[in-house]
Amino acid sequence: MPKTNETVLEIDLKALEHNFNYFKSKIKSTTKFLGVVKAFAYGNDALKIAKKLEQLNVDYLAVAYTDEGVGLRKSGVQTPILVLHPQPINFDQLVENNLEPSIYSHKILDCFLNAVSTKELSKYPVHLKFNTGLNRLGFTENDVDALIKKINAQERFKITSIFSHLAASEDANEQEFTLSQIEAFTRISSKIEAQLTHTPFKHILNTSGILNYPKAQFDMVRSGIGLYGFGNDIEIDTHLKPVASLKTIISQIHQIKSNNSVGYNRAFTSNKSMATATLPIGHADGIGRQYGNGKAYVLVNGKKAPIIGNVCMDMIMINVTDIPCNEGDEVIIFGKGNSAEEFAATANTISYELVTGISQRVKRVFIN
């Protein structure tokens, strides 16, 4: 690839295809696959990622909120889209764009029933979300009888799937808890199937669940972070390819003397003569202040250059004293040689937070 000449998030669609095929290889040929493209496809580009997954024959897509799904529909995405956290104020938009809501409480159920009744719709597809231990969203097992009674009393919508979400599927120390979630979900879905006139499909496994609990793949699995190259496990990561690389350039190099300070609040002071480089990227782009003051490093011509001083809104400064480099040289913030997981770990956070936080002003460049 040619060197970059500005700050860009480079997105490798071949890497996405590789990761998709890797996870598909871990499930039965009959098991459906849902690709999660919420949060701008984990900071990448929801439309480009969704269309690539559509080309790969993904069975479902998922977004967090209705407007994310509306944007995909208006851009021509036709794959079924599950909205994981729909809000009643957006139900008209949701229906108009043929999006499928997660129904996770009696209030949401009643509001959606009212919306589809007003439009005189019939058998609109919805998905029932159950809380089996994450304690975030979802009906409980005790809700089943009242819920099914309410559902069977109407024909405005139809239950397409029943699902839940695992809380700690990546943690081997929490295997007992995860298995208890799977058992609870199995009980719940069995009770529901016994009282419905049709059989909805079922799904509970996320990225780590696909890898660690393959016997619980039911009818569909879901992957978000895994598609973008992170498997929540060092060994699994060797089989995946990170989709995104954040790159920038050196804007200016300074030769500073001993006892010179760098950046706001004089957070760094040199103890010898040294060379510093200024990069056109900062916390407004998603590289927060927590990465400054020597915690994180970037790669300049393949060598590690620590971030010094406080991260500014639009710039960061790095120590390049022992690195042969020039103004205009490419710098890798995260990517090959310095993964997003490694970079995020320096600030005691996770790749999810880092990659989803790369701001929209950073240009997205697509390769392959």
Q: How many CB atoms within 10 Å of residue 328? A: 11
Strand pairing category for 60-63 and 81-83: parallel
- Whose CA is closest to 219, among 237, 232, 205? 205
Contact between residue 349 and residue 260 where contact means Cβ atoms under 8 Å apart? no
34 contacts 223 by C-beta, under 8 angstroms? yes
Could you tell me the two tokens for 32?
């459906």
**What gap in Å lies between CA 292 and CA 311, rounded to an integer?**
5
Residue count of the chain: 368
Please state, in angstroms and rounded to a whole number, the distance separating the CA atoms of residues 351 and 353.
Answer: 5
Q: Which residues lie across from 261 on neighbouring strands? A: 269
Residue 291 annotated to the active site: no
Spot the catalytic one: 123, 149, 264, 363: 264
Q: Which residue has the tokens 């979900």?
A: 185
| Cβ neighbourhood burial of 47 (10 Å; 0-12, 13-18, 19+) | middle
Is 270 in contact with 259 (CB distance < 8 Å)? yes
Q: Please pick, among 38, 129, 202, 247, the residue that the annotation labels catalytic.
A: 38
Burial class (CB in 10 A: 0-12, 13-18, 19+), 235: exposed
d(CA 232, CA 217) in angstroms, rounded, equals: 18
Q: Classify the C-alpha dihedral 144-146-149-153 as positive or negative.
A: negative
Interaxial angle between packed helices 106-118 and 144-152, expressed in degrees from 0 to 180 and rounded to the nearest 10: 10
Backbone phi, then psi, for 145, in 5-degree steps?
-60, -50
Contact of 290 with 349, CB cutoff 8 Å = yes
Per the annotation, the verdict on 264 as an active-site residue is: yes
Q: Which of 42, 46, 68 is nearest to 355 (CA)?
A: 42
Q: Which residues are catalytic?
A: 38, 264
